[in-house]
Amino acid sequence: MRTLPMGIVFLALCTASQSAVSDESDGIDASLPDAARGGELDVRLTPFTLLLGQRSEADVLINLPERKGRIKLFAQHGRVRGVKIVSEDKATAVYIPPEQYIPRVDVIAAMIETDDGPVWGYAAVQLIGLGEAVIKTRPHAEATIRIGGKEFGPVKAGKKGEARIQVEVPPGTMKGVDGEGGDVDLHLPQVPRTAVFVETKKIGMDDPPNVALFAVVVGEDGGMDEDAAIEILCDIGEVTGVESMGGGAFRAIYHPPQDGEGKVEVRVSVEGSDLPPAVMELVLLPRTKTKPDEEKVETPPDVPPEIPWLSMALKGGLAWNFGSMRSFDLGADFGVKLPIGNHRMGVGLQVGFSRSSASSSVGSGASPSADMESKTWIVPFGGMLFYRFGLGTRWSLLAAIHGAAVMVDNTLDIAGSDTDSHERGFLFGLGGSVALEFGIGPGAVFMEIEYLALLGSMETLDGNLSPMYFNLGYRLFFL
């Protein structure tokens, strides 16, 4: 029996990693190479192999040299957070892998600013892809596949001859072997085995400095590649002085032009390799405009921060209908930017609720009065279209229009009566909001004003139902 060509579908990763995965996790091939490390700084990762889709993370240890200075950490694909100096000669951090499903090698770089210039070092982590192989064979036949030295299966095919096998794919592996010894193309995209880092990606044109580049090349399987030669190209300016530091690490100098603005693309590739290059973008900040009799401003102007792809916000405050209804409200929204234009427009979902109560008396003349209490819930759920205006390095303004289906629930309680009046209805809401944001940590605190006009009416409620919201909140960004 011979298996037909098969496809592989990887499980998408949706959340940030939370707990470390041991090197001895089931399915990780023990024959994988040792972690690649190099440069002047000693950087180590534990573990240096992670299985994607397992909410995994790794501990980063940096052995500090005698020439101490400010330390910075970078990751080519994932993220590094929580940098701490734990002793005179050690610093720690936590590496979080990317959410994409592709098996690859990620590079974590550390830099220390010293009086003699930046000191660099790196370590590589092997990211194992978790997915599902779909094999076509004879109905009810048993199918297996060998990937990266490990066999997966057997799994019995269904009546249509299709077998689905859970597999793990190490970086650099492009083919598997079926149960009959035939090659199986895994249809994985090629990924770079180079990485490039700089201390800062923003270069002011008032006095453009030369920028130190740190480049890394690792083996296709994640091991060290000390014999590879690299090529560094840029579309604006010039790169000179490419020098090997050993262990697959290189240093070079980028010379920006004397004048200009916009983005510069730096591409690092392995000489003689067909793999795609690592690409990094630098930003040339335009010269500060000055009057002839003024001195040139040395500090480059603020540039709006990069707009994140995803965001989630929690907020709360006061809801008011310009009448007797006043209450506290809580809400949440989720947004994603659109891949059009300058990427500042996006769409999102919003949900919230508010509850208000109002007391009054009924009856007049000789009739005794009765106390009456109205309790009202307003619960909007809908979508929004927003645009974020950059106001500087930390400030931004988010304007949005909203459409929502709104549940209004009202209960009238009359003291001394055995019955009450209850009404629930759904109204359509249309409105807008403006929020002023200030970046703090991985997100931004914001103040928001929103108005939601409710179209329709309720029998048990008089007057305007449309609420105005005054909220404070925090929006968390996911790049």
Residue of higher predicted confidence among 365 and 29: 365
Strands 202-204 and 278-285 come out as parallel
pLDDT band at 56 (very low <50, low <70, confident <90, very high): confident
* Amino acid (1-letter code) at residue 120: W
| Per-residue pLDDT at 26 exceeds 60 | no
The CATH number that domain 310-478 falls under is 2.40.160.20
Look at residue 17 in the predicted model and tell me its pLDDT: 29
Q: Do 1-190 and 194-285 have matching folds? A: yes
Amino acid symbol at 170: P
The pLDDT of 190-215, averaged and rounded, is: 90
Q: List strand residue ranges (DSSP E) for 54-141, in order.
A: 58-63, 71-75, 79-87, 90-96, 104-114, 117-136
Q: What is the pLDDT of residue 369?
A: 56
Q: Are 346 and 333 in contact (CB under 8 A)?
A: no
What is the model's pLDDT at position 143? 92
Cβ atoms of 12 and 102 closer than 8 Å: no
Could you please state the CATH topology (level 3) that the domain comprising 1-190 is classified under. Immunoglobulin-like (2.60.40)
Tokens of 14: 């949706």
How is the chain split into domains, by residue range? 1-190, 194-285, 310-478
> What's the CA gap between 168 and 148, in Å, rounded?
8
Per DSSP, the chain holds a count of helices (H) and strands (E) of: 0, 31
414 pLDDT higher than 90? no
**Cross-strand bridge partners of residue 384:** 348, 402
Q: Which two tokens stand for residue 432?
A: 């807008």
Confidence of residue 307 (pLDDT cuts 50, 70, 90): low
Q: What is the mean pLDDT of the chain?
A: 81
pLDDT at 435 over 90: yes
Which pLDDT belongs to residue 256? 93
DSSP letters along 439-462, please? EETTEEEEEEEEEEEEES-BTTB-
Question: 123-127, 159-163, 352-356 — which is least confidently predicted?
Answer: 352-356
How confident is the model at residue 478, as a pLDDT?
74
Specify the pLDDT at position 203. Answer: 92
The count of other CB atoms within 10 Å of the CB of residue 206 is 15
pLDDT band at 132 (very low <50, low <70, confident <90, very high): confident
pLDDT at residue 282 greater than cutoff 70: yes
- Is the predicted pLDDT of residue 293 greater than 50, yes or no? no
The residue ranking higher by pLDDT, 292 or 233, is: 233
Question: Which phi and psi (to 5°) does residue 225 adopt?
Answer: -130, 90
**Which single residue is written with the structure tokens 């490419």?**
242
pLDDT tier for residue 222 given thresholds of 50, 70 and 90: low
Q: What is the pLDDT of residue 363?
A: 52
Residues 319 and 325: their CA atoms lie apart, in Å, by 8
Q: If you average pLDDT over residues 469-473, what whole number do you get?
A: 93
CATH of domain 194-285: 2.60.40.10
